[in-house]
Amino acid sequence: MREPVFNGSFYPKYKGEIEEFIDSAIAKADIKEDLSDAKCYVAPHAGFIYSGYTAAYTYKAMASNNNLKDVDTIILIGPNHTGIGTPLSISFDDWRTPLDTAKNDLEFSKELVNYSDNIYHDESAHADEHSLEVQLPFLQRVVGKKKYVFACMGDQEVENSELLSKAIISTAEKLKRNIIVLASSDFDHYEKSTVANKKDMKLAEYLKDMDYIGFNKEVKALNNSICGFGPITVALLCSKYYGAKNGKLLNFSNSGDKTGDYDQVVDYMSWIFI
């Protein structure tokens, strides 16, 4: 069992406070389009007070998924901020939050590790990593009881993203799982809002076109400090396999909207591939 680490810091400490925030944020998320056919999503992972209202757009879209009741397993993929652990780290633990226990789809998780010598069972990468934990309360509140796979990417080179996406697709087919893929990522960090916005809107053009090669090249060309470009690439590749044609930006915000400091912001985006 992985116990909660970040309740009381990245998100509220107690169940009632968490539910109140999530319900309020989702109620405020204004989505008018029919996004019910999406299968792969992107949500930010900063503290709820900073990015939670943008994340709520992802989850409101997910709640409208036509096949949600038939989904067996949610594949949750985040970056490794701590530098601890292996390049592609899969958890075999169940994960607890103040809302509930997220049960690991252990058969799926083990199959991913068996798929390649470059995918590892490694709990150390997850122990003090926030990018997956902060998504769980939203998922538990919106999606209900599902099984999970927890993947942490220490190496986000495009080859690793391709490998993980192939492993996920192959395993889902082998085990006959109906899946949702959720990538956890913030975007450009600690620049003036105008600079960060310009960089991230360039990336957005590649995501809209679902051009993952261009997206990865542009991350490096811009020296963009997006932290989860690998997880986003995995979600994009999986969505392509399942027939998605476009990426849609649902919401954009930055930390300055909360702090009032627009000289050193972190950008947040909510995406789906449909």
Q: Domain residues of the chain, as ranges?
A: 15-273
Angstrom CA distances, 134 to 17, 18, 128, 186, 257, stand at 14, 11, 12, 12, 20
Q: Bin 33: left if φ > 0, else alpha if -120 < ψ < 50, else beta.
A: beta
Longest CA–CA span in the chain (Å) reads 50
The pLDDT profile of the chain, 274 residues, written as one tens digit per residue, is 999 999 999 999 999 999 999 999 999 999 989 999 999 999 999 999 999 999 999 999 999 998 999 999 999 999 999 999 999 999 999 999 999 999 999 999 999 999 999 999 999 999 999 999 999 999 999 998 999 999 999 999 999 999 999 999 999 999 999 999 999 999 999 999 999 999 999 999 999 999 999 999 999 999 999 999 999 999 999 999 999 999 999 999 999 999 999 999 999 999 999 9
| Predicted pLDDT of residue 160 | 98
Two structure tokens written together for 49: 């007070």
Task: Name the CATH topology of 15-273.
Answer: Protocatechuate 4,5-dioxygenase; Chain B (3.40.830)
Contact predicate 119/150, CB 8 Å: no
